[in-house]
Amino acid sequence: MALTKVTAAVLNDDAVSYDKLGNEFTTAAAIAASAVDFSTAQVFTKTLAADTTLTFSNVSTGMVKDLVITGSHALVLPASVKVISGTYDGTVSNLIQIAATNGSTEQWATISKQAT
Amino acid sequence: MATKAINKNGVITVYNGVPKTLYSSSGTYLNAQAMSETALRNAGLFDVVYPEGYNSAIDDLSEIFWDSANSVFTYTKSDKTWTQSLEEMKTNKISNLKSNANSKLAETDWYVIRKDDDGTAVPADITTARAAVRTAVGTKETEINALTEKSAVVLYDINLD
């Protein structure tokens, strides 16, 4: 008989440890060019060498990703991103947290910068 | 710092210079002040040009609009209107002129008070300067009373320095 639900015999409550999470929740990846694939990492890093326009892919509702960006160039977020607060400062590291509230249609961003 | 503007989804937003964060219909540009003029234009941020001869004291501006021929945002200007009559505006202007003169003379009033107190003569250059202020007030008052346009009254310079 096929299993239709995960029972306590298979997976106990409160039993999913950090080690069991997939890479998309636990790893940091450098953004090679400008593509941010939400299914590949939790944290994305980049030092801007030129004005850069980010593109997002595999965005699902409820995902929250962290971008750690530095560099004194312009960083363009997709039109689907609404900035809640914060100002990017290229002279220090910036934490840009993206929360997807409607898949690829709508995400919200807060920008925090490293204290100096 | 040049005034800039951008049209985002039909709403034109005017900035005093390049904003740190630029909200465009194509995306949000963080650190936009690091962008080149060409990149800013590509993002939709263009100069705002005021109509030739525009003077905020006597002109009103229309709603801002896109001038496609010149690739700038601009306005049209129209003559400002005032609720006061020409005579009322002249009266107010002359009142302000005399207030300026009063402030100017007050700077050297103490010379005159000292003369009254202990007889010390007022220096000749001070006497000359005070007389010049009074003469200037008389001249300007005559000129103001001769004005026939409200805008001319607004623009008339009552500075006594």
Model confidence pLDDT, tens digit, residues A11-47: 888 889 999 999 999 999 999 999 999 999 999 999 9
Q: What is the mean pLDDT of residues A55-70?
A: 97
Judge whether B42 is closer than 8 Å to chain A, CB to CB: no
pLDDT of residue A4: 82
Contact call for residues B25 and B42 (beta carbons, < 8 A)? no
- Amino acid, res. A103: G
Out of B25, B26, B34, name the one closest to residue A74 (CB): B34
Whole-number Å distance between alpha carbons of A75 and B77: 37
Out of B25, B26, B30, name the one closest to residue A74 (CB): B30
Instruction: Count Cα neighbours of B114 within 13 Å in the Cβ-side half-sphere.
Output: 8
Contact call for residues B77 and B61 (beta carbons, < 8 A)? yes
In the predicted model, what is the mean pLDDT of chain B?
Answer: 96
pLDDT of residue A6: 83
Q: Which residues of B touch A51 (CB under 8 A)?
A: 34-35, 39
pLDDT of residue A1: 65
Tens digits of residue pLDDT in B100-123: 999 999 999 999 999 999 999 999
CB contact (8 A) between residue A90 and residue B39 = no
Judge whether A103 is closer than 8 Å to chain B, CB to CB: no
Out of B25, B30, B39, name the one closest to residue A88 (CB): B30
Phi/psi-derived region of residue B115, left when phi > 0, alpha when psi is between -120 and 50, beta in every other case: alpha
Judge whether B148 is closer than 8 Å to chain A, CB to CB: no
Whole-number Å distance between alpha carbons of A22 and B50: 57
Nearest CA in chain B to A75: B30
CB contact (8 A) between residue A72 and residue B21 = no
Confidence of residue B57 (pLDDT cuts 50, 70, 90): very high
Taking the complete model, does pTM exceed 0.80, yes or no? Answer: no
Q: Which helix (H) or strand (E) holds B142?
A: helix B124-146
Q: Which residues of B touch A89 (CB under 8 A)?
A: 31
In Å, how far is B76's CA from the nearest CA of chain A? Answer: 32
CA B112 to each of CA A99, B98, B124: distance values in angstroms, whole numbers, following the listed order: 75, 19, 12
CA B91 to each of CA B135, B140, B153: distance values in angstroms, whole numbers, following the listed order: 19, 12, 10
CA neighbor of B75 nearest in space, from B57, B52, B41: B52
CB contact (8 A) between residue A87 and residue B20 = yes
Pairs across A and B, CB distance < 8 A: 52
Whole-number Å distance between alpha carbons of B39 and B129: 57
pLDDT of residue A10: 85
Tens digits of residue pLDDT in B6-31: 999 899 999 999 999 999 988 999 99
CA B80 to each of CA A76, A101, B52, B55, B57: distance values in angstroms, whole numbers, following the listed order: 42, 49, 16, 10, 8
Query: What are the residues whose beta carbons fall under 8 Å from the beta carbon of B74, sequence distance 6 or more?
Result: B48, B49, B50, B51, B64, B65, B67
In sequence order, the β-bridge partners of residue B21 are B30
* pLDDT of A64 above 70: yes
Whole-number Å distance between alpha carbons of B76 and B2: 18
In Å, how far is B23's CA from the nearest CA of chain A? Answer: 9
